[in-house]
A = this chain, B = another copy of it.
Amino acid sequence: MAKSWAALGVDLHLHLRLDPTGIGTGTGTGVRRGLTDAIREAVRGGRLTPGTRLPSSRSLAADLGIARNTVADAYADLVAEGWLTARQGSGTSVAERPVPRPSAGPTRHPRSPFPPVHDLIPGSPDLSFFPRAAWLKASRRALTNAPNDALGYSDPRGRVELRTALAGYLARARGVHTDPDRIVICSGFVHGLMLLGGVLHARGLTSLALESYGLDAHWRLLERAGLRTVPLGLDELGTRTEELTGGEADLAGVRTVLLTPAHQFPIGKSLHPDRRAAVVDWARRGDGLILEDDYDGEFRYDRQAVGALQGLDPDRVVYLGTASKSLAPGLRLGWLVLPPSLVGEVVAAKGRIDWSCGVFDQLTLAEFIDSGAYDRQVRAARLRYRRRRDALVAALAARAPQVQATGIAAGLHAVLQLPPGTEESVVREAVRRRLAVHGLDLYRHPDSTAERTDALVVGYGTPPDHGWAGALEELCATVAPAGS
């Protein structure tokens, strides 16, 4: 015991020298905290074993050259925390308890020994294009002007400033018909879809129709919410929404459909006008609901943006928008525009008060929209991505004329149609060239009966400007016929 105590004594002196101030509130608090920490660590580390009697506060204080009360207080702290026990008449000892097993080492994510150099995975905008200076300016104004109660727990729909700004913007830019009371801010599209999945399941729904191609993260979260996902067919006009009324066995009783009408992800077509009309009529006739994922509706190049489907019937369409493509996914900001009949249930699912969304970014985005900075950013981004798309199409025409880029009228990605049977080998070649790119098959719903086509999905919005030329070069080399 004498030995372990001597070792502790050395530690204590060292600790007190190294950390003479601490962060406490009163005189001597730093010394007391240093002493408390050192004894706690000695017990935790096993240097002071259970049952070990500690010296009296008087003798330890003399040994360390500190006030006796400081030692007594440190002992009292450690008794309160359960490390030490104090028994009337028998002094202070280390509590009788097994030393906790050491934790397993930190989790490490294995990394490929050859990480990709070029990233053309779709789904992310060019992050280097985020308008940091303008965002900071807006955040300064937003935080300076925010009332105190904005910093508290608030309306589960999100801040009214942002809902008001969005109602105006979405009407103007996307033809969405709404008012701020029917908008619910969420932590990005996925959070919104999660809320809707829970609400629909609670309403008794057991299945939901969607497109043949999409993101497995979305299918999985809907399945986790208790909804079977049933893919619609696909033809040269896009998603076959008429199957909803066509009497297919799998679709019997399905009353909700998730669509990307402006720019099917990842195929890239807009939903045909006749089908837009027909799907809204289907929803009206059968008390159905359309979830409109408008993930990149602002980025249309060859013609005016196709307005939101929601505008056709705000009572039958839930509009889901996001700042992830127009600004950055890291913001985790999205919005639901809801039919009046759904507002109460979605708000209840989000929580009686807003447990999800931080206010600062909400207020900043409201300021960003109101000041016109959001429009400017979208316009500049549209020009930037359009140039990349044009460069992609031109480079393919010159270097790999057998590869046709489709779905390119809008968005931040293109689909490169490959010769039949070559998708897998082209993806392998991309990996060899350290080019991250996805084959189309990765986006195919497991139950889809749509004809398979060989293709690459190329996120030309993803790289920073300085990496774009190199990525395009590697892409062309990957898809060009050998020897060309």
Give the chain B neighbours of A25 by CB distance below 8 A: 379, 382-383
Write the A90-125 contact mask toward B (1 if CB under 8 angstroms, else 0). Answer: 000001011011011011100000000000000110
A32 vs B305: C-alpha distance in the bound complex, in angstroms?
12
Does any Cβ of B come within 8 Å of A161's Cβ?
no
Partner of A151, one of B103, B130, B270, B375: B130
A140 vs B143: C-alpha distance in the bound complex, in angstroms?
13
Partner of A307, one of B77, B276, B306, B333: B77
Number of chain A residues whose Cβ lies closer than 8 Å to a Cβ of chain B: 107
Give the chain B neighbours of A281 by CB distance below 8 A: 97
Contact (Cβ within 8 A) A177 B273: no
Give the chain B neighbours of A154 by CB distance below 8 A: 330
Q: A83-B312, A303-B76 are in contact. Are A144 and B173 (CB under 8 A)?
A: no
Q: What's the nearest-Cβ distance from chain B to residue A331, in Å?
A: 5
**Interface hub of A103, A340, A356, A358 (most chain B Cβ within 10 A):** A358
Q: Which of the candidate stretches A57-65, A180-188, A204-212, A230-238 sits at the interface with the other chain?
A: A180-188
Contact (Cβ within 8 A) B315 A330: no
Does any Cβ of B come within 8 Å of A172's Cβ?
yes
Q: A101-B315, A154-B330 are in contact. Are A81 and B276 (CB under 8 A)?
A: yes
Does any Cβ of B come within 8 Å of A359's Cβ?
yes
- The dominant DSSP class at the A interface is helix
CB contacts under 8 Å to B, within A306-346, are: 306-307, 309, 311-316, 328-333, 339-341, 343-344
Contact (Cβ within 8 A) B151 A328: yes
Does any Cβ of B come within 8 Å of A292's Cβ?
no
Partner of A273, one of B73, B80, B108, B330: B80
A180 vs B33: C-alpha distance in the bound complex, in angstroms?
23
Does any Cβ of B come within 8 Å of A367's Cβ?
no
Q: What's the nearest-Cβ distance from chain B to residue A87, in Å?
A: 11
Give the chain B neighbours of A360 by CB distance below 8 A: 139, 330-331, 360-361
Contact (Cβ within 8 A) A329 B276: no
CB contacts under 8 Å to B, within A358-382, are: 358-361, 375, 379, 382
Contact (Cβ within 8 A) B100 A127: no
Does any Cβ of B come within 8 Å of A219's Cβ?
no
Does any Cβ of B come within 8 Å of A29's Cβ?
yes
Give the chain B neighbours of A104 by CB distance below 8 A: 340-341
Give the chain B neighbours of A123 by CB distance below 8 A: 153
Does any Cβ of B come within 8 Å of A10's Cβ?
no
Q: What's the nearest-Cβ distance from chain B to residue A294, in Å?
A: 13
Closest to A36 in B: B304
Q: How many copies does the complex hold?
A: 2
**Interface hub of A40, A173, A312, A352 (most chain B Cβ within 10 A):** A312
Contact (Cβ within 8 A) A217 B352: yes
Contact (Cβ within 8 A) B187 A303: no
Write the A230-259 contact mask toward B (1 if CB under 8 angstroms, else 0). Answer: 000000000000000000000000000000
Give the chain B neighbours of A306 by CB distance below 8 A: 77, 80-81
Contact (Cβ within 8 A) B179 A106: yes
Give the chain B neighbours of A85 by CB distance below 8 A: 273, 277
Q: What's the nearest-Cβ distance from chain B to residue A344, in Å?
A: 7
A307 vs B43: C-alpha distance in the bound complex, in angstroms?
14
Contact (Cβ within 8 A) A177 B329: no
14 more contacts with CB within 8 A, not counting A23-B172, A107-B340, are: A36-B304, A40-B175, A44-B311, A77-B304, A81-B175, A81-B273, A81-B307, A82-B277, A97-B312, A100-B315, A132-B144, A136-B139, A139-B360, A332-B356
Interface residues of A (CB under 8 A from B): 23-25, 29, 32-33, 36-37, 40, 44, 73-74, 76-77, 79-83, 85, 95, 97-98, 100-101, 103-104, 106-108, 123-124, 127-128, 130, 132, 135-136, 139-140, 143-144, 148-154, 172-173, 175, 177, 179-182, 187-188, 190-191, 194, 217, 270, 273, 276-277, 280-281, 284, 303-304, 306-307, 309, 311-316, 328-333, 339-341, 343-344, 351-352, 354-361, 375, 379, 382-383, 464
The 9 closest A-B pairs by CB, nearest first: A106-B181, A330-B359, A82-B276, A151-B328, A151-B330, A104-B340, A127-B148, A190-B355, A82-B277
